[in-house]
Copies of this chain bind each other. A is one copy, B any other.
């Protein structure tokens, strides 16, 4: 392995000078700097990340910790974050928290707080207080923090506005009997769940209904074991076999929307003629399903941009005040075949 000492020796300068030259410090005169750079290139020198990080506390790496990397939405998010990090001269490393608190903790304290200049974290089971402790003071940006009081910079998905637009759209399509799939009705009243993604989306729904002076009974909110495609499909089977009637479905995620579409197809119920369906997220697959899925498409590039911007601001200036800042990603309603304006 070729070290900086090797480069310095070969260029006939001290290690200090080589270090400065390599990092383009203006105090080294161009002639010297040029020579060092040339030698470094010839020797194929690369700076040792561990040493750099140990000494300076900076690595140029941003950590992204995400739940369930094998699902479309989180993986598209990871990809967008990774791309945006590159644009800002950072390298993103992505880690899967895999729905285990233990793993979240381990990632946070072993890798993230040690190696990364900052972390973008999608919190699962770990609390804000724990994150605070484990982060070792390194900047953190949360994705959809559900805490009552924000203690970290956070980027939110446009839950309220998106859900509002979704329900409004279903109403505009003539739906009279709308079911919300994948939310817990308790989220509306249970204070501890108040800021959850579910609750925020339900709040948006509520607003849309009340504007139309329509009822929004709790029984129209159908909970599911999880947000998987499979769960959505079975849920549709269940509620139809229970004789439940409905003509519009707002699914909490596109993955669930796809499952609902499939469940309806299993039962021979026509979309959008008998039932209209809208999802949330804007995953790529929704464009190609049969029928294609109308959705609230989160502007992922915008989300990534806002998250990285918040994070790099703290990395570049660690003296930024402690008050947590938040941003909300843009979205747009993408109408496809699963709904029809009448």
Q: Which A residues fall within an 8 A CB radius of B?
A: 1, 44, 46, 48-51, 53-54, 59-61, 68-72, 75-76, 78-80, 82-83, 86, 91-96, 98, 103, 106-107, 109-111, 113-115, 133, 136, 229-230, 233, 258-259, 261-262, 265, 284-285, 287-290, 292
- On whether the beta carbons of A258 and B284 are closer than 8 Å, the reply is no
- On whether the beta carbons of A91 and B110 are closer than 8 Å, the reply is yes
Which residues from chain B contact A79 at a C-beta distance below 8 Å? 68-70, 96, 98
Instruction: For the complex, give the distance between the alpha carbons of A203 and B131 in Å.
Output: 52
A-B contact pairs, 5 of them (CB 8 A): A50-B59, A50-B115, A60-B110, A61-B111, A86-B103
Which residues from chain B contact A70 at a C-beta distance below 8 Å? 75-76, 78-80, 284
- On whether the beta carbons of A51 and B54 are closer than 8 Å, the reply is yes
Which one of B54, B68, B80, B95 contacts A92 once the chains associate, using CB atoms below 8 Å? B95
Instruction: For the complex, give the distance between the alpha carbons of A111 and B93 in Å.
Output: 9
Given A69-B82, A70-B80, 7 further pairs, Cβ under 8 A:
A51-B54, A72-B72, A78-B96, A86-B103, A229-B285, A265-B290, A285-B285
- On whether the beta carbons of A91 and B69 are closer than 8 Å, the reply is no
CB distance from A58 to the nearest CB of B (A): 11
- On whether the beta carbons of B94 and A46 are closer than 8 Å, the reply is no
Which one of B78, B86, B289 contacts A290 once the chains associate, using CB atoms below 8 Å? B289
Which residues from chain B contact A53 at a C-beta distance below 8 Å? 50
CB distance from A111 to the nearest CB of B (A): 6
- On whether the beta carbons of B48 and A288 are closer than 8 Å, the reply is no
CB distance from A102 to the nearest CB of B (A): 10
CB distance from A93 to the nearest CB of B (A): 4
Which residues from chain B contact A94 at a C-beta distance below 8 Å? 69, 78, 93-96
Instruction: For the complex, give the distance between the alpha carbons of A124 and B258 in Å.
Output: 32
- On whether the beta carbons of A49 and B111 are closer than 8 Å, the reply is yes
Instruction: For the complex, give the distance between the alpha carbons of A113 and B46 in Å.
Output: 10
Instruction: For the complex, give the distance between the alpha carbons of A113 and B233 in Å.
Output: 45
- On whether the beta carbons of A109 and B46 are closer than 8 Å, the reply is yes
Which residues from chain B contact A75 at a C-beta distance below 8 Å? 69-72, 75, 78
Which one of B1, B114, B292 contacts A49 once the chains associate, using CB atoms below 8 Å? B114
- On whether the beta carbons of B83 and A96 are closer than 8 Å, the reply is yes
- On whether the beta carbons of B83 and A98 are closer than 8 Å, the reply is yes
- On whether the beta carbons of A110 and B49 are closer than 8 Å, the reply is yes
Q: Which residue of B lies closest to A107 (CB)?
A: B91
Instruction: For the complex, give the distance between the alpha carbons of A93 and B115 in Å.
Output: 12
Q: Which residue of B lies closest to A96 (CB)?
A: B82
CB distance from A109 to the nearest CB of B (A): 5
Which residues from chain B contact A69 at a C-beta distance below 8 Å? 69, 75, 78-79, 82, 94
Q: Which residue of B lies closest to A2 (CB)?
A: B136
Which residues from chain B contact A48 at a C-beta distance below 8 Å? 54, 114
Instruction: For the complex, give the distance between the alpha carbons of A114 and B285 in Å.
Output: 37
- On whether the beta carbons of A95 and B82 are closer than 8 Å, the reply is yes
- On whether the beta carbons of A259 and B233 are closer than 8 Å, the reply is no
